[in-house]
Structure 1
Amino acid sequence: MISYDGTIDVALINMPFASFRQPSFALGLLKSSIKDKFKVKVFDFNVYFAEKIGADLYDRIATWHIVDLLGDRLFAQTLYGDQIPPFEEYVDKVLNGNLKEHEAPYDKKLVDYAFYNELLEVQKMTDQFLEECSRIIAKANPKIVAFTSMFHQQTSSLALAKRLKKVLPHVLVTFGGANCKGPMGMELMTHHTFIDCVCLGEGDSSFKKLVCACTDDQTIDVLSNIPGMIFRKDLKSDDVNPFALCSKTLEMDLNLVPTPDYDDFAQLYAERKFMHKEKPRVFFEMSRGCYWGQKKRCIFCGQSSETLIFRKKNRERIVTELRKIVNEYPAFALSASDESVDEGALEALIEALSTLQRKPEIVYLQVRPDINVKMLKKLAVCGLKRLEVGIESLSSKVLSIIGKGVNGLQNITFLKNCREAGIEPIWNFLWGFPKEPESSYKNMANLIPLLTHLHPPNYAGPFRLDRFSPCFENPYEHGIREIKPYPSYRFVYPFNEEVVDNFASFFTFKFQSPQNVKDYTRQLQENIFFWKEIYPKSALYYSQDLVIDKRSGIDEWHIRLDPLTMAVCKASSKPVTMQEIPQRLKEMEIVKSEEEIRQSIGYLIKYGILLKEKEMYLSLVTEERGDAMTCDD
């Protein structure tokens, strides 16, 4: 078990089923903000539970389809007992999809007999696990216990908080995190009397003020004016506006936010060999909010409008902080916490990486698909292995409806650039948006066999309706109705419909006008499945005067191109208009008539080598990777 000798002022707690391969970014920030004045420790109890039940089983639970709430259901039994429906019924209706709302997407595995028994054993182990966690915290005797609560660690955190309040009645129990935003946080405290206060938004400065006040022995009744914090006494007031409180927590100058402290997690990693199978990662931060979302929000974006405001650290701070994290945690890979990184932050990141003798592995960075290709390649040689990108669709019509601000050819270009740079793009293919045209899905189904050499989506399925999204906040405007929490919430929380509605992050809905999504996306789904199967063997690349086509995954076609057609193909390496192609050919010292160029274009389109969308053209052929560039190039 994770042990600790000595007393502390503040215990920061990270519960299952947060990933055991990374520390909590939020708790790392909170520890750093108060460690100079107070004794504080992060307790990564999620790591212990992963060790207890086995890393593979833990991962399977932690990465299960998120709307099923599997991690929360396993701890709900010890928290609420017989107030919630039996586990067997939950498995049947939710995990195995016998409720329509939880029907399995094509890539979701069902619960077989062996996995069912494993889940039962995990559920039985939660009681003893919580008792041991409680004993450790009681021994440390903190004045404040703070939980970070993300989507799949709500009930485990509540169950431990309830026990701690019994053994340490004097301790101040506080919650923060994604599960506590706005009305969710208020409802959380209303129905769990062992919680003393909740942070409804960003908690960097607010938490430090709370700790200072409480360690001066002020009581809960006299605490006030802490931005974004709501206390039990506030629940009696009708004047409390959770959204206003949420907005008061925003850190507008990120240069004043400290560098996170991950020392407690690093010590665990050094001690526990089971964590060494895969390289762990630590978070760094360059910005908060979304620079695109400030202009136009994606209709399914679940980030609240209060926290959407884009804020960024200056270049010097990004460089110095990244160097510090790399030097302090050399055994770890890096993961960016940013929702959306702009060009300035990427330039600062490249500058920081270029000066490091040991290039750290960057396993996660989120960007928009219109990122500059040269910058993409620089990031690759500086250690970047994968990017998360908001592609969502390959149809320009659908992308326009959902507010992405890019078109289909730009998304395909990004996938192509990633292949050439040796970067794995992590992306989702979403459908089922209100008012989307059925014809777009037939077109995309026909397109996919031409793209099998590019990285397929990691998830493909209906878009999820999240709290705070424009679709949730303005359903009529976006063509949806009858919004309800997923049925899985009824199997986790024993409260009435209104309360559960306020607890929920994920919702089901109906369309105002009928849309038979299953039917018009069926061929697309089948082709995506084929794409995933064939991708490891698929390729489309140049070889002298040939194009080698292995997109079927079975046969290899050698397509010989005449000099003009080869030049037209290479001139279209990124989206171009018909008017731009002659200029690019001229740069290659080739001058041909428009008719000759159009003949070459027709030939390339015939063989599925060139795409045309309106007046734009894009070659799908990838360049062979040449000599490696450097970060400084």
Structure 2
Amino acid sequence: MNRTEPTAADAALSSRDSSSRGSSSGGSSFGGVCLVSMPYASVSRPSMALGLLAGILERDGVPVTTAHANLWFAERVGLPLYDVCEHQSQIQLLVGEWTFAEAAFPEELFPGARDKDEQYLDLLEASGVPAPWSFPGGWRAALRTLRRFATEFVDEAAQRVLATGARVVGCTSTFEQHVASLALLRRIRELDPDVITMMGGANCEAVMGEATHRCFPWVDYVVSGEADGLITPLCRTVLERGWDVPADELPRGVLGPAHRLPDPAGPAGHREKTAAGSPGSGPPLPRAVFRQLDSLPVPNFQGYFDELSRSSRVGPYVTPGLPLETSRGCWWGDSHHCTFCGLNGSSMVYDSKSPERVREEMAALTERYGLKRFECVDNILDMGYFTTLLTALAQEKDPERALFYEIKANANTRQIETLVDAGVTWVQPGIESLHTEMLKLMDKGVRGWQNIQLLKRGRQFGLRMSWSLLWGFPGDSDAYYAQMAEWVPLLEHLEAPQGTALLRFDRFSVYEKKAQEHGLFLSPIPSMHYVYPLAHSDLEDLTYFFSDTPALGVPDTLLRPVRKGKGIQALQEVANQWKQAFHDTVRPVLAMTDVDGELHILDTRRCAERTRMRLTGVARAVVLACDAAPRPAKLREILRRDHDLDVAQATIDAAVESLVERRLLLEIDDRLVTLAIPGTIPSLPTGRDFPGGFVDAFRATQDSARARRAEGAEDTAQGAPALEEQR
């Protein structure tokens, strides 16, 4: 084929008759903007992106509707299958993206796109993901079924979106929504070339947005960054002028048709490059930033709740929560960028809403939707809220309120109490490790003893915490993991990590930006080669996740080969035991109660010397004093001041040594940490109580199995007379 001539793919996907521009589409007279959230967005809460942008357009008089296509798809395939891609597989394996790849990149437009499918499934099996229990009928067949459903669904979803009469269709794309969004917009272009298409979200920031715009010509406009301040003028301009918007008239952070330059040498579906030039060259697409947060309207989530109420296979199993945004950016990352973190794109600039505005928004959302469960989508809690917003919420004493926040791990006891009093029931503290040298490699600005103290306070006040142990950092030592493995058995009465996770290299992280300084050679994760039928140079721009081993051509593994030392192996083993103990019906306990000068200890940990102990005198005073994790050099002064004990240092040292041997104290980072939890230990929230919503996929699976058995019994009963007649 002569590459200088248009291909069938180009004609179908990117050419338009200029005489038809601006005409309305579909059978409806709506003629506005339809914002779409594709799979595999969570079904347990509305999309913040859709809700906020819809609220802005609605406020500004631009006709808008929303389509929660993630709910449509979950309704179609059922929650058990949907849950496989949303929760059960490692995100860097791109299982969800693969299920929509056939719809996005059909063979007739992308020859050879399916050649590596079986190899991908082989490597998934080798990786141990997905877990066998997820697919009692065979996981390969289940994934193929899911892909078939996805391919059929894209056509149905496109027709439903077009039936609204929207002239502009925009998809939000974060993590595993990109391929599904590309598939939808490609099909919309085929069904109605007059509809204008857009994409935005985290997957479209900077060079990833450039690659999306360059490689997929059926996507007309791509937005990089925060669209709050540009969505209204952009949509108004596009509704009025269609594709004929000069590049210099588009808002900062937006690529449009005018940015494309013909590239006759390009393959089908990749015939154009951005004006910036070839992949990886020129300045990256800038990131739009919006920081007048108090000026934003209350998000409109009505479309989600309307769809959920109509659902019979999803709605009955979902306890929804509400997303709430109280700040943007990261005040810590603005000055100390955690080395592995790729959140916030290329901008860490921090701003927060006024406490009054947050309370008004919470009240408005509760009035609209009848819920008091809020998942704060902030990257980090504004520390000023401890004396403003959280104090005010605590004074309201609302027992029905439940909030989730991401916090910094050095929160002190008073701050933890304030969080709990305000109705915060669950936090993500960014613990990541218990070893100070590891935390230094991450630039976390916290030490190991502080993380242990935080876990202790969380258990003391009934505050649930989500955290993991990361490993495999450049410059780490297996000795760090070995030391943590020695500590873990002493901590099994505290909340366990969700698991141990190999470090992932994300775009915009310090490791990605300064790979050479850290001795890294980064390339797109191998899974990208199985999902996208693109050149390696394009994948370098499109990927959000990287591997530190070359993945040129077709890779022979899905997982980064890492030599596991004895230390990390030991840590993984004891961490798994810790997790099992935490999820047991009866959890291990290490509690202390001070009664009339005697400190009563209850210890049911597997490492316990005795189940019950009574401490008096110096031993009692040391345990009580070390609840605050003092430095050993300060302990004698604390005993004299707070416990009226003036004893020799040798006596104190002997008491400390004895308590360490009994595993009641931990010496770490030149600190002495009492491990016992003071007072009565409260219960912790369960998964059903998560403020961001809960999906009972287990019950959905059971009900689905019962329904299949009932159908089988009915079929058998109906077939009996016919069999009898044959006899």
TM-score (normalised: structure 1): 0.91
1:459 to 486, 499, 511: 499
* Maintained 8 Å contact 2:469/2:497: yes
Give the 3-state SS of the residue equivalent to 1:387 in structure 2.
strand
1:81 is matched with 106
Q: Name the structure 1 match of 2:95.
A: 70
- Structure 1 residues 103-502: aligned runs within 5 Å: 103-104=127-128, 114-217=138-241, 219-222=243-246, 224-236=249-261, 238-239=275-276, 245-247=285-287, 249-272=288-311, 274-303=314-343, 306-331=346-371, 333-354=373-394, 356=396, 358-362=398-402, 364-481=404-521, 483-502=522-541
Whole-Å separation in 1 of the counterparts to 2:345 and 2:98: 30
Taking the aligned partners of 1:553 and 1:331, their CA distance within structure 2 comes to 43
Does 2:580 match 1:533?
A: yes
**Helix, strand or coil for the counterpart of 1:524?**
helix
Measured after TM superposition, the shift of residue 524 of structure 1 is 0.9
1:556 positional shift: 6.0
After TM superposition, the structure 1 stretch with the greater mean CA deviation from structure 2, 167-176 or 12-21, is: 167-176
Residues 349-370 of structure 1 deviation map (CA, whole Å, 9 limit, x = unaligned): 4245336575454353111111
Q: Does 1:587 align with 2:642?
A: yes
Sequence identity, in percent? 26
Q: Using a 3 Å threshold, how does the CA distance of structure 1 residues 238 and 160 change in structure 2: closer, same or farther?
A: closer
> Hey, what does 1:542 align to over in structure 2?
592
**Distance apart, 1:220 and its partner CA:** 3.1
Q: Report if aligned partners of 1:7, 1:139 keep a CA contact under 8 Å in 2.
A: no
Residues 1:542 and 1:105: Cα distance change in structure 2 (over 3 Å): farther
Cα distance in 1, alignment partners of residues 644 and 106 from structure 2: 78
Q: 1:626 to 1:404 in 2, by over 3 A?
A: closer
Query: Is contact 1:359-1:382 (8 Å) kept?
Result: no
> What secondary structure does 2:601 align onto?
strand
Please tell me whether the aligned partners of residues 186 and 242 of structure 1 are also in contact (alpha carbons under 8 angstroms).
no
- Residues 1:175 and 1:478: Cα distance change in structure 2 (over 3 Å): same
Cα distance, 1:39 vs structure 2: 1.9
- 3-state DSSP class of the match of 1:454? coil
| Residue number in structure 1 paired with 2:620 | 566
Using the TM superposition, name which of 404-413 and 127-136 deviates more. Answer: 127-136
Alignment correspondent of 1:100: none
Q: In 2 relative to 1, CA 409–259 (structure 1 residues): closer, same or farther, beyond 3 Å?
A: same
Determine the C-alpha separation between the residues in 1 that align with 2:196 and 2:490. Answer: 59
Alpha-carbon offset, residue 130 of structure 1: 1.6
Q: How far does residue 411 in structure 1 lie from its aligned partner after superposition?
A: 0.5
My pick for the range that moved more, 272-281 or 608-617, is 272-281
Distance 1:369 1:445 in 2: 21
Give the structure 1 partner of residue 723 of structure 2. none
Contact residue 100 and residue 150 of structure 2 kept, 8 A: yes
SS state at 2:76 partner: helix
2:56 paired with 1:33: yes
> 1:146, CA displacement in angstroms?
0.7
Q: Deviations over 1:198-234 (max 9, x none)?
A: 0011111121111121233454333624121111221
Offset at residue 55 of structure 1 (A): 1.2
Report the Cα distance in structure 2 between the residues aligned to 1:566 and 1:105, rounded to whole angstroms. 49
SS at match of 2:677: coil
Return the letter of the residue paired with 1:437.
Answer: S
AA at the equivalent of 1:574: A
What is the alpha-carbon distance in structure 2 between the residues aligned to residue 246 and residue 332 of structure 1?
37
Query: CA offset at residue 554 of structure 1?
Result: 9.4
The Cα shift of 1:185 comes to 0.8
SS in 1 for 2:348: coil
For residues 346 and 276 of structure 1, the distance between their equivalents in structure 2, rounded to whole angstroms, comes to 37
In 2: Cα distance, 1:107 partner to 1:547 partner: 41
> Do residues 23 (structure 1) and 46 (structure 2) align?
yes
Which residue pairs with 2:569 in the alignment?
Answer: 522
How far apart in 1 are the matches of 2:519 and 2:131? 28
Q: Which AA in structure 2 matches 1:504?
A: T
In the aligned structure 1, how far is the partner of 2:283 from the partner of 2:331?
Answer: 21
Kept after mapping to 1: 8 A contact 2:375/2:404: yes
Give the number of the structure whose alpha-carbon radius of gyration is greater. 2
Question: CA–CA distance in 2 between the matches of 1:397 and 1:129?
Answer: 49
2:37/2:68 contact within 8 Å kept: yes
**Cα 1:614–1:131 shift into 2, 3 Å:** closer
Which region of structure 1 is more displaced relative to structure 2, 577-586 or 398-407?
577-586
More displaced 10-residue stretch of structure 1: 557-566 or 332-341:
557-566
Amino acid in the other structure paired with 2:354: N
Shift in alpha-carbon separation, 1:122–1:209, aligned structure 2, 3 A = same
Q: TM-score, normalised by structure 2?
A: 0.80
Query: More relative contact order in 1 or in 2 (CA 8 Å, sep 6+)?
Result: 2
Distance 1:330 1:348, change over 3 A: farther
Aligned to 1:631: none
Deviations 1:498-557 (A, max 9, x none): 11121111111159xx98444441111111111111224211111443211111189962
Matched, 1:46 2:101: no
The CA deviation string for residues 367-398 of structure 1, in whole angstroms up to 9 with x for no partner, is 11111322222322433221112111111111
What code does the residue aligned with 2:49 have? A
Over aligned residue pairs, what C-alpha RMSD do you find? 2.7
What residue is the counterpart of 2:700 in the other structure? none
Q: Report the secondary structure of 1:252's partner residue.
A: coil
Structure 2 residue 544 is matched with structure 1 residue 505: yes
Task: Note closer, same or farther for the CA distance 1:381–1:278 as it changes in structure 2 (3 Å cut).
Answer: farther
Residue 663 of structure 2 aligns with an amino acid whose one-letter code is G
Gaps of 5+ in 2: 1-25, 108-112, 262-273, 551-560, 684-727
1:111 CA drift (Å): 6.6
Distance 1:243 1:377 in 2: 47
Partner of 2:652: 597
- Count of aligned pairs between the two proteins: 616
Going from structure 1 to structure 2, the CA distance change for 1:338 and 1:484 (only over 3 Å counts) comes to same
Q: Which residue identity is paired with 1:488?
A: S
**Per-residue Cα deviation, 1:248-290 (whole angstroms, up to 9, x for no partner):** x111322223321111112223333532434211111111111
**Native 8 Å contact 1:78 1:126 kept in 2:** yes
Gap change, CA 1:321 and 1:244, over 3 Å in 2: farther
Distance verdict in 2 for CA 1:347–1:275, change over 3 Å: farther
Mapped partners of 1:4, 1:322: distance in 2? 38
SS of match in other structure, 1:49: helix
Work out the CA distance in 1 between the residues paired with 2:654 and 2:476. 34
Letter in 1 for 2:617: P
Structure 1 unaligned runs (5+)? Answer: 98-102, 629-633
3-state DSSP class of the match of 2:375?
A: strand
Match of 2:125 in 1: 96
SS in 2 for 1:430: strand
| Shift of residue 163, structure 1, vs aligned partner | 1.1
Q: Choose the corresponding residue for 2:605, options 551, 576, 580.
A: 551
CA contact (8 A) 2:132 2:139 kept: no
